[in-house]
Amino acid sequence: MSRIAYVNGRYVPLREAAVHVEDRGFQFADGAYEVITVQAGHLVDAEGHLLRLARSLRELRIRWPVKPRTLHVLIREVVRRNRLVDGTAYLQVTRGTAPREFPFPKAAVPSLVITARRLDLNPVDRLARGIKVITVPDIRWKRRDIKSVSLLPQVLGKQTAVESGAFEAWQVDDDGFVTEGCSSNAWIVTREGTLVTRNANTMILNGITRQRVLKLIDDRAMAFEERPFTVDEAYGAKEAFITSATNYVLPVTAINDRPVGNGAPGILSQELRQIYLEFAGASV
């Protein structure tokens, strides 16, 4: 079946889906996006993603392209038209199309694109072995809390990871602390069994999966700390893992080719994945 996209008010076959060459997303990366997991045909944590989109748009002073409630309906419709069972819905809002001038155009209408695609939510090999991460300097701007479509540093970081045989690159700030992955949040489990992930401010994207996992941990009275950790601390950690809409909770078994713990996926990481899967299955 050919895939269907939603582009500015129309459902079109993906191969014909296009925006204008003067769309500001294309020319300035002047837009925001969200990736929402679809599990068994249902959107996982849609409300959280739409709230974060609202925040990104507010910070960027981009108008909503449609009402939030309508957007939710449109995303579900794209999922339905693509007969998507397990995968992701992608939505992107830009400031719209206008002659290329840096200041905000007066009359532009925001663009809205929604696509959906399949994704294996149970990557058996990756889960059995865990993933390798490398570290790269964080060369991004200072508003990482906004889910902006300006992703060039992450593209470069991921490419370096792939070329090193790794799955993800953890970005590291000027003081040696891990900020986050290129498209995921970074976590460790200390020798004492405390879960640690960086506190959310403008230095990282506050992942919806991160927030959900924190809530699930808190509900179970498990020990956690939201604070920065260094690459050295991560080398000495008992476990490590990443969280994102596309990976849920995914164990990290090597950082820069040094094994984490005993080099196998950690017990707590695996338990958290199970807990998250149960939540996602139930989230409709």
User: Where along the sequence are the contacts to ligand PDD (CB under 6 A)?
Assistant: 35, 180, 183-185, 205, 207-210, 243-246
Q: CA dist 61 to 57, 127, 206, Å?
A: 6, 40, 19
Neighbouring C-beta atoms of residue 9, cutoff 10 Å: 9
Smaller CB distance to ligand PDD: residue 97 or 273? 273
Smaller CB distance to ligand PDD: residue 20 or 126? 126
- The greatest distance separating any two alpha carbons of the chain, rounded to the nearest whole angstrom, comes to 58
For the record, the structure tokens of 103 come out as 């200041």
Neighbouring C-beta atoms of residue 260, cutoff 10 Å: 27
Minimal distance, residue 62 CB to ligand PDD, in Å: 18
Q: Indicate left, alpha or beta for 80 from its phi (over 0: left) and psi (-120 to 50: alpha).
A: alpha
Amino acid at 7: V
Alpha helices in the chain (DSSP H): 24-28, 46-60, 68-81, 124-129, 152-163, 208-219, 231-235, 267-282
Q: Is 147 a catalytic residue?
A: yes
Minimal distance, residue 201 CB to ligand PDD, in Å: 13
Smaller CB distance to ligand PDD: residue 196 or 205? 205
Q: How many Cα atoms sit within 13 Å of 218 on the Cβ side?
A: 8
Minimal distance, residue 82 CB to ligand PDD, in Å: 18
Smaller CB distance to ligand PDD: residue 109 or 162? 162
**Alpha carbons 48 and 35: distance in angstroms, whole number:** 11
Minimal distance, residue 100 CB to ligand PDD, in Å: 26
SS (H, E, C) 154-209: HHHHHHHHHHCCCCEEEEECCCCEEEEECCCEEEEECCCCCEEECCCCCCCCCCHH
For the record, the structure tokens of 229 come out as 């950790």
Minimal distance, residue 166 CB to ligand PDD, in Å: 16
Minimal distance, residue 271 CB to ligand PDD, in Å: 19
**Alpha carbons 270 and 128: distance in angstroms, whole number:** 10
Smaller CB distance to ligand PDD: residue 82 or 243? 243
Catalytic residue among 67, 106, 147, 238: 147
Smaller CB distance to ligand PDD: residue 127 or 204? 204
Active site residues per annotation: 147
